Amino acid sequence: MATYPATTAMHGNDLRSRNHAGYWAFLAHRVSGIVLALFLPVHFFVLSRALRAPGALDRFFEWTSQPAVKFAETLLVLALAVHLAGGVRLLFAEFVGWRAEGQKTAIAIVAAVAVACALLFALNV
């Protein structure tokens, strides 16, 4: 029977690895991917309404003019920008060999750009 060193990392209780920008970028990328995956069936449903009944689509568009829906759309744009940025970060890490130096700054810049995209969308809606 194999024995392992008694470290907290072996038991999953070590939270130090979660206290850095890379972990939060990883988490934001995964969560935004889930949000976008949940949105896709709704998007396809709306597209199917456009093909079946233009009047139903018009009623749906009237419903989307509510402030709560506009806010949700802004969050969706934020999720899209965050997911895109996270994907580009992963591509750089995989194919360019980009490592720890400069990643915190890049993650902060990408987060600011994602928030700026969402704010620009919110102001133009």
Is residue 9, in this structure, part of any structural domain at all? no
pTM: 0.72
Q: What is the mean pLDDT of each run of 10 residues along the chain (125 residues)?
A: 51 64 86 94 86 83 90 92 86 74 78 89 82
Residue 22's nearest CA partner among 86, 84, 117 is 86
pLDDT of residue 8: 46
Give me the number of domains the chain comprises: 1
Task: Give Dmax over CA atoms of the chain in angstroms.
Answer: 69
DSSP E strand stretches across the chain? none
Is residue 1, in this structure, part of any structural domain at all? no
Is residue 24, in this structure, part of any structural domain at all? yes
CATH assignment of the domain containing 88: 1.20.1300.10
Is residue 8, in this structure, part of any structural domain at all? no
How many Å apart are CA 43 and CA 50, to the nearest integer?
11
Is residue 2, in this structure, part of any structural domain at all? no
Is residue 11, in this structure, part of any structural domain at all? no
pLDDT of residue 56: 80
How many Å apart are CA 73 and CA 64, to the nearest integer?
9
| Domain span holding position 70 | 20-124
